[in-house]
Amino acid sequence: MRVTTRLIVSIVLAAALVSAGWTWFQARGERARLLEELNHRGALLAESLREAAEPLAKRADAKALARIADKFGGRRRLRGISLHAPDGKTSVSTAGLPDFSPPPRPGEAIDCGLIPGGALHRCAAAFENSPGFLAVFQDATYVDAGVREVWRRGFFRLLTQVLLITAITLWIVRFDILAPIERTAEWMRLQRAGEGRGAAPPPGGLLGSLTSEAQGLAKSLETARAAAEEEARLRHSGQSVWTAERLKEHAKERLRGRPMVVVANREPYMHVRRDGKIQVVRPASGLVSGVEPILKACGGTWIGHGAGDADRETVDAFDRVRVPPEEPRYSLRRVWITKEQEEGYYYGFANEGLWPLCHIAHARPQFRAEDWKHYHAVNRLFADAVLAEIEGVDEPCVMIQDYHFALLPRMLKEARPDARVSLFWHIPWPNPEAFGICPWQREILDGMLGADVLGFHIQAHCNNFLETVDHALECRIDWEHLSIRRGEHSTLIKSYPISVAMEEAAGPLPAKDELMRSVGAKGAILALGVDRLDYTKGIVERFLAVERFLDKNPSYIGRFVFVELGAPSRTSIPRYRDLVEEVKNEAGRINARFETKENKGWKPIVLAVGHHERTEVARWYRVADLCAVTSLHDGMNLVAKEYVAADREEPGALILSRFTGASRELRDALIVNPYDIERVADAIREAVEMEPEERRRRWESMRETVRERNIYRWGARLVDDLGRVRLVDDDKPA
């Protein structure tokens, strides 16, 4: 209440000062107006009486002068008239007037002004044909009365304003401030007590930012509570689960406080300009989904390519920005590359060369000397950025991500032998014969072996890499311990199946029908695909399986809909542009084939091409009845794990390609060969018609796998092996 009183008093004082100042100006103006009116009226009266009064002055006729005064006095506030000698002495005067009146100022025919004291106003007019002058006196007391009236009106106006301000302020404080605060406090009390799940958050209004922060705090509290409950449950059963907090403490212990630096081509947050405003965009990326939780837990720096058109406007003098925007946990350092370098390094060598080479699927690798030159130059550019970031730091830890930086480990090790360097290869590694296609295979292998720890998703990829090195380089391979020694340096080769964080307490379930309407989908059964539009993802084959499913099961026509959330990718590469058209044409053909008058408005396949925020995709995961991940070849494919990790009310079903790394862990998914259209079509029917008990058994088994083998466990295993690295000059046990 004291705060409200202070607020009202402050507003009233401010209003009083403004009102007093304005009234003072009004009173000053009113006084000037009334005096001007007196001067004007007195001058006119003196001018009109001067000729008639001049003979009276000569005769000293007081009675005639009184008659003139009586004639004009009633309607013009005339107090009297007097006739004076040149020296100001009164010769004839109306009763009650001063005995002396100064003559008009030299050069003035008529001289007007207030008499000292302010009660009388005088206008003196010199006679034209005889010495002396006429003085006309008017009542001036009404001038002060008019000014007082202005102040009186100002006071009542101020009083009215004070009452209105007080009433409005009390209304706003009560209903727009106190009421939302009370609702927010009650909502937070429920959250703190663990009773608020599903409760609608308080409205924003004037306290929108506070409410938003309260929701974020409550979400963090709920996540922490869920993690603690899960930790307690697993501890009770003799197990343990990795959490962000546990990883943070584990990293501190293993890395002894050394800073963590992650290097990736993709940045986790982009700043782009839309509708004249800078907005934050979270790129759709499995790498980002998998790696960012590590930095959120441990802190550090992410070094990535600044690709957003407003990225330069949002960094500091050292090209850094703190992220995530809503709750900064780590630094993002952006590296700038030219358009020509991006074409050669990223689109050329990395994605027209290494990507199809490692996936062995549907596209011939293209290797050009100019692309290799840019690839080498950009790796050097990133090496310089990493070295600047770790300058002055003893034994820093660097985690390099993916095939864009095969040369980077060697560059860093040559400059900083004391750095602990890991490289994680997020895509498959082919057999030695396939990789031998690359003209620069020796340089790439040598660059990768600069890492202390080299990770792949599955053991088969590790084996392929070891065999490739055995064919291409002179080195010692320890097949038992899966390590390679080249010169004085050893590299551990190990599988680290990447994962995701479980989504806990995500809030009320999104409206399924509303989500479907947003993309033009209609149907009782919702199947989902989430992919970059890449030829390795098997999207066309998936659409053919949907077509075959409806052919074999016509009862689902009009009831089943497959929504594909497709993110355009690498569209400057012809093969990717062709794929987009192929996917659109295939979806259009299948939709046209099943369109009838009876099911007008229904389409079996809805293709939503565009950038989809992670929060948006998460909403689809929570309501989709089944998810299809049918990659033709993939390292892991985190979409499968993200779907399983989603916070749902009912279990879902997962159709999963056996050519993904995820199929090695999610054994209770419906595992398919994506090239076998008949089998995938049957798997769709099996997923739709699965008995509830069987569906729940499979779902809970997969969720337990993802919960136990989550992203924090992946990070902990990498940190463990990185912390054990023995440096060349390190005579102490790691």
| Coil/strand/helix, residue 528 | strand
Task: Return the amino acid letter for 644.
Answer: V
User: Does a structural domain hold residue 203?
Assistant: no
414, pLDDT greater than 90: yes
User: How many residues are listed for the chain in this entry?
Assistant: 734
User: Does a structural domain hold residue 168?
Assistant: no
Do 484 and 516 share a domain, yes or no?
no
Residue 164, exposed/middle/buried by CB under 10 A (0-12, 13-18, 19+)? exposed
Residues 6+ apart with CB under 8 A from 241: 230, 231, 234, 707, 708, 710
User: Does a structural domain hold residue 503?
Assistant: no
Q: What is the pLDDT of residues 640-661, one digit of tens each?
A: 999 999 999 999 999 999 999 9
What pLDDT shows up at residue 129? Answer: 79
Residue 451, exposed/middle/buried by CB under 10 A (0-12, 13-18, 19+)? buried
621, pLDDT greater than 70: yes
Do 223 and 302 share a domain, yes or no?
no
DSSP 560-578: EEEEEEEE---TTSHHHHH
DSSP 3-state helix, strand, coil percentages of the chain (rounded to 5)?
A: 50, 15, 30
User: DSSP state, 506?
Assistant: -
Do 527 and 586 share a domain, yes or no?
yes
Do 354 and 437 share a domain, yes or no?
yes
CATH code, 637:
3.40.50.2000
Do 488 and 602 share a domain, yes or no?
no
DSSP 337-366: --HHHIIIIIIIIIIIIIHHHHHTSSS---
8 Å CB contact between 112 and 42: yes
Both tokens of 37, joined, read 């009116």
pLDDT classification of 204: cutoffs 50, 70, 90: low
Nearest-5° Cα angle at 239, 235 to 241 = 85
237, pLDDT greater than 50: no
Task: Return the amino acid letter for 408.
Answer: L
What pLDDT shows up at residue 213? Answer: 67
Q: What is the pLDDT of residues 671-694, one digit of tens each?
A: 999 999 999 999 999 999 999 999
Question: Which residue, of 495, 520, 545, is where some domain finishes?
Answer: 495
Do 402 and 382 share a domain, yes or no?
yes
668, pLDDT greater than 60: yes
Do 408 and 450 share a domain, yes or no?
yes
188, pLDDT greater than 90: no
Alpha-carbon Rg for the chain, nearest whole angstrom, is 44
User: DSSP state, 100?
Assistant: B
In the chain the first and final C-alpha atoms are separated, in Å, by 62
8 Å CB contact between 683 and 653: no
| Bridge partner residues of 305 (DSSP) | 335
Nearest-5° Cα angle at 337, 332 to 340 = 155
Q: Which one has a higher pLDDT value, 139 or 428?
A: 428
Q: What is the pLDDT of residues 117-151, one digit of tens each?
A: 878 888 998 888 778 888 888 888 888 888 888 89
| Coil/strand/helix, residue 383 | helix
Query: What is the rounded CA–CA span in Å between residue 273 and residue 79?
Result: 79
What pLDDT shows up at residue 72? Answer: 61
Query: What is the rounded CA–CA span in Å between residue 141 and residue 151?
Result: 16
Do 528 and 485 share a domain, yes or no?
no
Both tokens of 611, joined, read 């950038």
Both tokens of 404, joined, read 């864009």
Question: 4: number of CA atoms within 13 Å, CB side?
Answer: 15
Residues 6+ apart with CB under 8 A from 442: 472, 473
Residue 622 falls in which region: left (phi positive, over 0), alpha (psi -120 to 50) or beta: alpha
Q: What is the pLDDT of residues 330-389, one digit of tens each?
A: 999 999 999 999 999 999 999 999 999 999 867 889 999 999 999 999 999 999 999 999
Q: What are the CA-CA distances from residue 323 to residues 142, 267, 719 (Å)?
A: 72, 11, 22
Do 657 and 604 share a domain, yes or no?
yes
Q: What are the CA-CA distances from residue 27 to residues 19, 118, 147, 155, 660 (Å)?
A: 12, 16, 5, 12, 87
8 Å CB contact between 405 and 423: yes
Alpha-carbon torsion 570, 576, 579, 584, what sign?
positive
User: Does a structural domain hold residue 169?
Assistant: no
What pLDDT shows up at residue 439? Answer: 96
How many domains is the chain built from? Answer: 4
User: Does a structural domain hold residue 126?
Assistant: yes
What pLDDT shows up at residue 62? Answer: 66
CATH code, 123:
3.30.450.20
Sheet holding 110-114, edge to edge: 90-93, 78-84, 133-139, 120-126, 110-114
Query: What is the rounded CA–CA span in Å between residue 438 and residue 427?
Result: 16
Task: Return the amino acid letter for 417.
Answer: P
Q: What are the CA-CA distances from residue 467 to residues 429, 432, 433, 485, 659 (Å)?
A: 11, 6, 10, 14, 20
| Coil/strand/helix, residue 397 | strand
Residue 47, domain extent: 2-145
DSSP 24-41: HHHHHHHHHHHHHHHHHH
User: Does a structural domain hold residue 416?
Assistant: yes
User: DSSP state, 317?
Assistant: T
Q: What is the pLDDT of residues 73-117, one digit of tens each?
A: 545 578 888 888 888 888 788 777 887 788 888 878 788 988 888
Do 268 and 322 share a domain, yes or no?
yes
Query: What is the rounded CA–CA span in Å between residue 22 and residue 642?
Result: 66
Percentage of the chain lying above the pLDDT 90 cut: 54
8 Å CB contact between 550 and 560: yes
Which residue in 632, 648, 635 sits closest to 702, CA to CA? 648
pLDDT classification of 231: cutoffs 50, 70, 90: low
> Count of CB atoms within 10 A of residue 610's CB?
10
Query: What is the rounded CA–CA span in Å between residue 54 and residue 658?
Result: 127
Query: What is the rounded CA–CA span in Å between residue 398 and residue 678?
Result: 46
Do 461 and 597 share a domain, yes or no?
no
Question: Which residue, of 468, 495, 522, is where some domain finishes?
Answer: 495
User: Does a structural domain hold residue 488?
Assistant: yes
8 Å CB contact between 592 and 499: no
Both tokens of 234, joined, read 């697993």
Question: Largest Cα–Cα distance of the chain, in whole Å?
Answer: 145
54, pLDDT greater than 60: yes
User: Does a structural domain hold residue 532?
Assistant: yes
Question: Which residue, of 98, 126, 145, is where some domain finishes?
Answer: 145
Do 236 and 275 share a domain, yes or no?
no
426-435 mean pLDDT: 95
